[in-house]
Amino acid sequence: MKFKKQLLNTEQRGRKCPFSMKPEYITIHEINTNQSAETVARYVTLSFGKIAAHFFVDEEEIIQVIPCDHNAFACGDGPEGVGNRKSISIEICRSKAKKDEYYYRSVENARVLTKYLMKKYGVPLDRVLRHYDWTKKDCPHRMMKENLWQTFKCKLQEGEIQDEEFSL
Per-residue pLDDT at 11: 86
**Angle, CA of 89, 151 and 130, to the nearest 5°:** 25
The CATH number that applies at residue 87 is 3.40.80.10
Give bridge partners of residue 51 from the DSSP assignment: 73
- Overall number of domains in the chain: 1
Per-residue pLDDT at 163: 58
pTM for the model: 0.94
> Is the residue at 167 inside a domain?
no
| CA–CA separation, 157 and 138 (whole Å) | 25
Per-residue pLDDT at 54: 98
Per-residue pLDDT at 70: 97
Per-residue pLDDT at 158: 82
Coil, strand or helix at 139: coil
Within 8 A by CB and 6+ apart from 161, the residues are 112, 115, 116, 119
> Is the residue at 165 inside a domain?
no
Low-confidence residues of the chain: pLDDT under 70: 161-168
Per-residue pLDDT at 162: 63
> Is the residue at 18 inside a domain?
yes
Coil, strand or helix at 163: helix
